Structure formats: structure tokens, C-alpha cells
Amino acid sequence: MHPNALLDLTTELLRSVLKLDAPADGLVSMFFRKHRDLGVRERHTLAETTYTVLRQRLLYQHLAAAGKYNEKGAPERRLAILAWQGNEAFLRGALTAQEQSWLADVQKIDRAALPDKLRHNLPDWLANPLRESLGDGFWPLVEELSRAAPLDLRVNAMKAKREEVQAALAEAGITAEPTPYSPWGLRIHGKPALSKLPLFTQGLVEVQDEGSQLLAALVDPKRGEMVVDFCAGAGGKTLALGAAMRNTGRLYAFDVSGHRLESLKPRLARSGLSNVHPAQIAHERDDRIKRLAGKIDRVLVDAPCSGLGTLRRNPDLKWRQSPKALEELQAKQIAILAGAARLLKSGGRLVYATCSLLAQENERVAEAFTAAQGGEFVPIEAASALEAARVSDPAALVAGPYLRLWPHQHHTDGFFAAVWQKR
């Protein structure tokens, strides 16, 4: 493809994504379906350039207006030039003489001397509480959020051992290393094609961030138990729980979205699990919930949240979320947690989790639940629960009684979890 044509396509994609009226990953996928003739390298350049702009939007918008640049053209074109993730020599073949001069001027700007807001590329409503929570850890987090996340796999313990899968990946030319904490995880750097590998098609591995794997470890389900994944979504944690149960007992996968549960079906077929029972519910007070009240051994509530712990993968979220949306989410999280808690029998375990970085969705919700229950649910130290599940170095994964994972510290998505036992 001619350099100008690829730059024009990148500009077109950015124009769509920067409206911020829909998830970026969906828009990118839709764009690729529209342009099926694009090759692997071209898709990589388009996607990574787009995500680089989203990660550092404020900075690039500032730089796009800097320098001696008077030539008319779409601002998205200048953003694409600044954030280009393809071959640099290829890009220069598309630039006018004036654009090349402007780019040279912009590249001389000392980015370290720019105002904090242009360096951290976060809205104030997000930057301020993160500074308060992290102190000196704020800038390392910012640096980590500017990078793409690695690819983590969870080995299906029903079908294979981790070292066997690692060896099979090596034979396929893919380097993988064991994750430092999860006993089932492998980490791959880069984005190799996995979907056609026998390891994947036969259900020996699933794509799952190490942090998400640790949530399943925190639930620590046992053989023969009755377990509920209350907000199952597409079922990544459901499958991990089912494997931990060794395909025994009964595992309910509840979600309000039938569409998300449909996505679980092919994954479930590959996994070899037969103890999973997906079911769509209307809300946390659904009749299905009432019928199971007081009968369940363990419940995982991976609650709907802002998703801000996934900013390495979904950088558009920081521009599409708002303080008002967070308030609405917090009220929903408290209601869902209270509804799910009714399922548990005496002695049962409840785990509340989010993939958020903010205390508003995490510690504050957990504290509100504990206070509202009048001692019926006793908090459990996350470190001790992780140790019992044979997770490596559990003390490094917690803050106080809670699981607290940070991208810059643990190289996972940002996760929070609280654990209780019902009296």
C-alpha cells in the first residue's frame, strides 16, 4: 500500500475513534471488517497508532498545534504522524516538505518540561485521586499506562500442565514465561496469532490477564461445591473456576447480558467443562437468585465498574468515563453485592472484585457492605486466602486486607478484591 493511502486510512480511523462515542476496540474491529484487504503489518500500524493517540491524547493534541505548521489538513492527520507506530521511512514517504519541517520542529520539544497534565494524559477527576492513593508511585503508573499490555494465557489445568504448554508454544516459535504469581499463567510479549493453534482450538489455554486469574484463586472453589460467578460476562473467570473445581459440583454463570453469555459457549465447549450452567438474569433480585438463596458455597462478584484498571488495553476509557458515571456505578456495585450475598450458606465465601484503580469503586464499596451487614459477613485477609490457594508471594499482592494489583507494580491489569465469610 502507498504510504499516503495508509496515512489517509489512519486519519480516517482516528476521526472515528476520537469522537469517543463508542468503545475504541469495537470501532477498530469494525474498520478492519470494512477494509478486509489490509495486511497484518498495515493493521498493526493502524491499531497501534490509534491506541498510542488515545494513551497520550492531550500531549499529541498539544504537539499537533505546535511548531511552524500552516498547511491546511485534518488535525487527525497530524496526530497520526506524531503517534506513528509503523516504519518511519515509510511514513516519511507520505509527508510533504512542510510536514517534515514541522515534525522536525516538534521533535525538538522537551516533553519532560511540559506541564504535568500533558505528561500524565489523564483527566483531573482521575489524576487527582490516583496521586492521593499512590504518592511517589503516581508517575511510574503513568509510565506503565503509556505502554501496551502483554498477552497472558491461563493454562487449562483440566487438560495440560503449564510446562507442557510452554514447551508447545516454543515449538510454535512463541516465547512464553511463567507468570510470577498465578500458578496457571504464561506471559507472552508481542501479539502472535493464537486462534488457529491446536493449543487454543483444543482448549488447553485461554487468554486471561494474570490479575483475573488471581481472582479465581481468591475464590478457591473446592471439588463438589456449589459456586456462582455472579457477573460472568464472557466467562473467563467462570472457566478458571470450573477448572479449579475439576469439573465437579455445580457452577452457575449469571449475567444480565445474554449476548455476553453467548460468547461463553464456544469457550466452554473448548474447555471440556460440563459443570457450568450459564443463565441470564434480569437483575440482582431475579427469581433465579431467590431460589438459590442460602444454598451456595462460594460467590464471585466481579462487578460492573469503570474498567480503569485496563487502561493499557482500553485507553479510551479515561476519556469516556466521568465522575457522574462513577457515582452511578458505585450505587449499582453496592446493590449487586448485597443481592449476591443472599446466595451464600453459613460458612460460605464472598469475593467482591473490580478492574478499577479507584478507591471509590473498591475500598469504599467493601467498607459500606461490611458496615451494612451488621457482622453477618466477616472480612477475610486476602493474603491468607491467596496463600491457601498456593499463590506465589501473596504479601506482595495486597494492601491491608484487600487484594490490590497495580499495572506498574505487578504488571497485571489493575484489580481489587475483598473477601468475606458468612457466619
What are the catalytic residues?
Answer: 355
- Neighbour tally for 271: CB within 10 Å: 24
| Cα gap 291→188, rounded to integer Å | 43
95 Cβ partners below 8 Å, 6+ apart?
A: 81, 103
User: Which CA distances in Å does 323 have to 21, 312, 358?
Assistant: 17, 20, 11
User: Which CA distances in Å does 87 have to 46, 94, 97, 191, 268?
Assistant: 12, 12, 18, 18, 40
Residue 299 Ramachandran class (φ > 0 left, ψ -120 to 50 alpha, else beta):
beta
3-state secondary structure of 185: strand
User: Which CA distances in Å does 116 have to 54, 59, 178?
Assistant: 17, 10, 36
Answer for the pair 249, 221: CB distance below 8 angstroms, yes or no.
Answer: yes
How far is Cα of residue 74 from the mean position of the Cα atoms in its chain?
32
Answer for the pair 233, 254: CB distance below 8 angstroms, yes or no.
Answer: no
Three cell numbers written together for 171: 515449538
